[in-house]
Amino acid sequence: MVASQNEVEQGAFERFVLPEVDVLLRVARGLTRHEADAEDLVQDTLLRAFRAIDRFDGRHPRAWLFTILRNAHLNHHRRRRPGLLRDGNSAGRADRVASDDGPDARVDASFEADVEFALKNLTPPFRQVVSLVDIGGLSYAEAARVLDVAEGTVMSRLHRARRNLRQQLADRRAHAHDGLEPEVGT
Amino acid sequence: MSRIIRVSRNEPMDCAAVGKVLQRFIDDELDDRRSGRVAEHLAACSWCTNEADEFRTLKAALAHGRAPVDDVAARLRALGHELLGDHRRGD
């Protein structure tokens, strides 16, 4: 029996989209910084993916989904902050280099929570690449396609973002050691 | 287009050269030859190995960070199944 076109499309949605809900949610959380917004964003992404599944060629499903996610995110952002959307190159504090003698920022029990907190302090262009590459598992080339920027831009933003994260973690450790709250925000 | 980091094919890489490509090495974005040369340097340099370990730890924490809240993920999966169900019922 030959599957109908609808059955093929539904099969593709089950096969390529539904298994990615968790990673979509984690990437959305990285992009939006708020749990409720992340859920709305993934919900929108699922609806868009469902409507577009007939146009999906079966290649790079995660990159395809993240492209939808990113477009949905841009639309959410435009609705909320008309005229303020920008794709800036400023890293804020992202270009600071970790101090040579800074405290060791490696794993302990609270490390992942600290990383998540630090991620929220990155400006959107930097949070996007970290979310796509480190959380979403995309290659530089795939992330570049999703963001519609050059691969070198992905690379430079990602590297600066990680240095910023590392610096924030070092700062948190230093302030925790001193009993002070670190400054946050970019 | 990727930025090209020029290094001599035969000279051992120094810390500065490794520093320029270290994150690409961690992301498995270097070709085999350059990746091998970075690995060779790391085997002999505790400073760069420490740098690499820090970025690997950060990357791992991001990759395996806090799992989505179960009921949120479940709600979204249910939405996906609902879309499929609605579509099938509408066939």
Structure confidence by residue, pLDDT tens digits, A108-161? 547 778 888 899 999 999 999 999 999 999 999 999 999 999 999 999 999 999
Q: Are A130 and A161 in contact (CB under 8 A)?
A: yes
- Under the banding of pLDDT at 50, 70 and 90, the label for residue B87 is low
CB neighbour list of residue B27: distance below 8 Å, 6 or more residues apart: A133, A139, A140, A158, B59
Tell me the average pLDDT across A75-88: 50
A5 vs chain B: nearest CA distance in angstroms? 11
pLDDT, tens digit, 9 for 90 and up, residues B13-33: 999 999 999 999 999 999 999
Find the chain B residues whose C-beta atoms sit closer than 8 A to any C-beta of A: 1-3, 23-24, 27, 29, 53-55, 57-59, 61-69, 72-73, 75-77, 79-81, 83-84, 87-88, 91
- Smallest Cβ–Cβ distance between A50 and the set B61, B67, B83 belongs to B83
Name the residue facing A39 among B57, B72, B80 (closest C-beta): B72
pTM greater than 0.80: no
Whole-number pLDDT of residue A74: 86
Q: Give me the amino acid identity at A154.
A: V
Residue A86: its pLDDT value, please?
Answer: 33
CB A159 within 8 A of CB A143: no
* More confident of the two residues B8 and A139: A139
